Amino acid sequence: MEETRRFRIGYALAPKKQQSFIQPTLVNLARERGIDLVPIDTACPLSEQGPFDCVLHKVYGEDWKAELENYAAQNPSLAIIDQPSAIQRLHNRISMLQVVSELRIRREKETFGIPSQIVIYDAKALADCRAFGALRFPIIAKPLVADGSAKSHKMSLVYHRDWLLNLKPPLVLQEFVNHGGVIFKVYVVGDYVKCVKRKSLPDVPLEKLDGIEGSLSFSQVSNMTQNRMQEDYYQSLHLEAEMPPQSMLTDIARGLRQALKLNLFNFDVIRDSNAANRYFVIDINYFPGYAKMPSYETVLTDFFWNVVNKRTDNDDVDSISGGKEMEKKG
């Protein structure tokens, strides 16, 4: 009796990401489907650790990129999730959201887009009123670079222009849109799209803006500290908030996947409190915390199975590139 072929997916992840993502439940479920998840030591050549049918990674740096390109050139059938050049676009908060503005998706009832925003490259511009154009306060100030580091997560909700002088460019200044204290996190895994609700920054009454001083610092819009808000109130908002139309989220996810050429990402959506059918995409993240997504083990295992089996049949999964493409780019 012919033995069923097993597939090897090597994963290169930072320790914190590996700890949260590579759970025993995921490893065991993948093993039952004939897929072995194998850790990659980025300090050693991939050629000494393979063979791999697929490399799953969230590691940055030129050395790793060169190692991955070299291994892909030697293994043309290798699946790579995802290409470093595609991931790089999400490291810049201007270029990441520009993709949303370029999507051509027709909706009859809903509209979506991005909040008004500008980029500030030097401290002198922060003191120049003309640099802000028609941007209205309050605004959210975010580091331009979004590389997953602790520094890139340090944001501020700024109520008045004078407080911007305390910040260090380069920054993206984005108009804050009141959205009922609820954010929708949309997880994308290939063709799979799942939306979950999370608490967010509270609304800012514009009529009381003059009486608010300073700024509010935070690390993530959907991860506010408990002492900043009344938990019971925001829990009720979280439960009562109506989900955005799944068809709209699926259309956006499909458009982003094709434009970005990525398979593992999530995007954050808010609903304008002043217009129930108007939505804004405010952030896109590569390879997010999938362990927070319901049934993530099943979803990811199905995705892995499709990747390795379709490539065996010489039928590439959309936007998943292999050694041949990297060899052309090189």
What average pLDDT is seen over the chain?
A: 86
Query: Which residues constitute the domain of residue 53?
Result: 7-82+295-311
130 and 256 assigned to the same domain: yes
- Residue 228 in any domain: the answer is yes
With beta carbons less than 8 A apart as the criterion, state whether 21 and 58 touch. no
Verify that 106 and 250 share a domain, yes or no.
yes
3-state secondary structure of 137: coil
78 and 93 fall within a common domain: no
Residues 75 and 168 in one domain: no
Query: Once rounded to an integer, what is the mean pLDDT over residues 79-89?
Result: 95
185 annotated binding-site participant: yes
Whether residue 129 sits in one domain with residue 269: yes
Residue linked to tokens 């362990």: 291
pLDDT band (50, 70, 90) for residue 160:
confident
Give the full edge-to-edge strand order of the sheet including 35-39. Answer: 35-39, 7-13, 54-58, 79-81, 321-322
Task: Judge whether 65 is annotated as a binding position.
Answer: no
Residues 62 and 98 in one domain: no
Cβ atoms of 313 and 65 closer than 8 Å: no
Query: For residue range 203-237, what is the model confidence (pLDDT) as tens digits?
Result: 988 777 776 766 677 765 554 444 444 455 445 55
Ranges 69-73, 140-144, 238-242, 285-289: which has the least confidence: 238-242
Distance between CA atoms of residues 193 and 255, nearest Å: 12
* Same domain for 28 and 152: no
Amino acid at 321: S
Identify the pLDDT of residue 327.
46
Buried b (16+ CB within 10 A) or exposed e, 147-175: ebeeebeebbbbbeeebbeebebebbbbb
pLDDT digits (tens, 9 = 90+) for 251-283: 999 999 999 999 999 999 999 999 989 999 999
Residues composing the chain: 330
Average pLDDT over residues 100-117: 91
Q: Within this chain, do residues 267 and 300 fall inside the same structural domain, yes or no? A: no
Among candidates 321, 318, 319, 304, which has minimal Cα distance to 6? Answer: 304
Residue 201 sits in a domain whose CATH number is: 3.30.470.20
Q: Is 181 annotated as a binding residue?
A: yes
Cα–chain center distance at 303 = 18
CATH classification of the domain holding 300: 3.40.50.11370
Query: Is 58 annotated as contributing to ligand binding?
Result: yes
Q: Are residues 203 and 171 in the same domain?
A: yes
Identify whether 198 is part of a domain.
yes
Q: Say if 1 falls within a structural domain.
A: no
Residue 134 · residue 153 · CB < 8 Å: no
Tokens 């199975």, residue?
305
Residue 94 lies in a domain: yes
- 329 a known binding residue? no
Tokens 């895994």, residue located: 189
Which runs of E-coded beta strand occur in 82-175? Answer: 111-113, 117-120, 139-143, 155-158, 171-175
* Beta partners for residue 70, in sequence order: none
* Residue 327 located in a structural domain: no
Of all residues in the chain, what percent carry a pLDDT higher than 70?
A: 85
Residue 144 lies in a domain: yes
| 272 known member of a binding site | no
Q: Was 124 annotated as part of a binding site?
A: no
Domain match, 226 and 134 both: yes
Q: What is the pLDDT of residue 229?
A: 44
pLDDT for residue 240:
76
Residue 105 has pLDDT above 50, yes or no: yes
Question: Are 162 and 195 contained in the same domain?
Answer: yes
Same structural domain for residues 195 and 300?
Answer: no
Is 184 known as a binding-site position?
Answer: yes
- 92 is an annotated ligand-binding site residue: no
Work out the number of other CB atoms within 10 angstroms of the CB of residue 121. Answer: 11
- Residue 142 marked as a ligand binder: yes
Q: Please tell me whether 176 is known to bind a ligand.
A: yes
Domain annotation covers residue 173: yes
118, 98 in Cβ contact below 8 A? no
Residue 218 and residue 155: Cα distance in Å, rounded?
Answer: 5
Of the listed ranges 24-33, 206-215, 243-252, the least confidently predicted one is 206-215
How many separate domains does the chain show?
2
Task: Reduce the secondary structure of 146-181 to three states and give it as a string.
Answer: CCCCCHHHCEEEECCHHHHHHCCCCEEEEECCCCCC
Query: What pLDDT is stored for residue 320 in this prediction?
Result: 67
Is 283 annotated as contributing to ligand binding?
yes
- pLDDT tens track for 66-79: 999 999 999 999 99
Stretch 24-43: mean pLDDT: 97
179 is in an annotated binding site: yes
Residue 57 marked as a ligand binder: no
- Position 2 in a domain: no
In whole angstroms, what is the distance from residue 51 CA to residue 53 CA? 7
